[in-house]
Amino acid sequence: MSILRLRVLAVFALGYFISFLFRGVNLGFAPFLSREIGLTATDLGTLTSIYFLGFAGAQIPAGVLLDRYGARRVTAGVLLFAAAGSLLFALSTGMTGLMIGRLLIGIGASICLGGAFKATAHHFPVSQLTLVNGIVMAIGGLGGVVVGEPLSLLLTLAHWRTVSMGLSALTACVALIIWFGAPATEATASKASLFEQFKGTFHVLRSHAFWKLATFSALTQAAFYAMQSLWVGVFLRDMTSSAMTNGASRIGTLISVLGGTFIVGNVCFGALARALERRGLSVQRFSGVTMAAFVVVETLLATRVALPDVMLWAAYGALGGTGILTYAVLAEHFPARLIGRVNTAFTLVIFVGIFVTQITIGAALNHWSVTNGHYPVAAHQYVWFGLIAVQVFAALWYFAPGKRKETHSFAVEL
């Protein structure tokens, strides 16, 4: 791998690490927000999901900006919104300020994944994208490890507001690293007007092939990230006997295990997808099988099957990100000039799903009474079985016979 490609991979993966860190940081902040500001489960779900709303709402303009101005300038510039949002979050004393701060964080972090995949698609051959994108996801996934045991430890040493201020400073530094560290030649100027470029995005969203490929993946990602970024701690507290026996430390450990295996899974499954593709198994089919395996693991967790906690949560983490292989599949179905908009359209669908899922989980849990600080087991099972059912229907469509590839032609440059 050339020095230039390593540079691209390193700086944009660092940006995605920041995005992933912000995604799950409320997992550690939640007890303090509940105690100091009096937030309910619905409030926490809404507050945390506002990040995903901002993230999703910024995707369409972000895709246009990426294809027009390139990943370096757009990613570095938009990340400053996240830095400002984290500072506002730290200084806020009420729900309104906290929500505005999280919204700004979501907007600022919205560009990191699409920007990284835009940059890798520009600098790496398509045959390497499953592995390279997996590495990006793995490095970003370190944020999932940090919001487990390391964040819990940090919050015993520093106030959550201080941590949020530190994240603001860190984010500003990462924006500078991307601005000065990414290649200045990455952008490819487009002669098309902004209106014509938006038409390209809407073309993607009208495509049957896009929805057939995206729906199952988006739903598995929505279920995984809604849990990983907030509700998995509550689930472990109420559903896992070993977590109740050993307390918060055990919960933090399992969350870090989940984050660690997420990293390993992204790299290994990305490499394995490429290796099996050379032997005749398409990435599309392989991704579908791994996502189906994720649904099986969800079912085992929801039914409280008698298997070791560590093994189940390791499998949950390893398989939770495999739907990301769909980015590489989509890159084969759409022309290169649309990749920024294809990636952000797919990300939009995922994060709208996370936003809806996270709020729905909070609202559903609030229908049950809390006893001694715990929701009943039936409450969590109701939520999980509902998510599983929706994913099963999406899987049936994903595996249904259909055209393997769709050809796209445009009268104008989109």
The whole-number pLDDT of residue 296 equals: 97
Query: Each residue of 280-320: pLDDT tens digit?
Result: 888 889 999 999 999 999 999 999 898 888 999 999 999 99
**In the predicted model, what is the mean pLDDT of residues 162-174?**
95
Q: Check pLDDT > 50 for residue 410.
A: no
100 band by pLDDT with thresholds 50, 70 and 90: very high
Whole-number Å distance between alpha carbons of 23 and 218: 16
Whole-number Å distance between alpha carbons of 261 and 24: 16
Whole-number Å distance between alpha carbons of 316 and 412: 44
The whole-number pLDDT of residue 253 equals: 80
Query: Each residue of 392-403: pLDDT tens digit?
Result: 999 999 998 865
pTM: 0.72
The whole-number pLDDT of residue 48 equals: 77
Q: Check pLDDT > 80 for residue 242.
A: no
- Do 130 and 59 touch, CB atoms closer than 8 A? no
Instruction: State the DSSP code for 404.
Output: S
331 band by pLDDT with thresholds 50, 70 and 90: confident
Nearest Cα neighbor of 13 from 123, 129, 112, 121 is 112
Q: Residue 93, class by beta-carbon neighbours within 10 Å (0-12 exposed, 13-18 middle, 19+ buried)?
A: exposed
* Mean of all residue pLDDT scores within the chain: 83
Q: Check pLDDT > 60 for residue 382.
A: yes
Nearest Cα neighbor of 310 from 363, 263, 254, 364 is 254
Which CA distances in Å does 22 have to 89, 166, 225, 237, 359?
Answer: 12, 12, 12, 22, 17
Q: Check pLDDT > 80 for residue 232.
A: yes
The whole-number pLDDT of residue 412 equals: 38
Residue with tokens 């109420």: 238
Homologous superfamily (CATH) of 3-181+190-399 is MFS general substrate transporter like domains (1.20.1250.20)
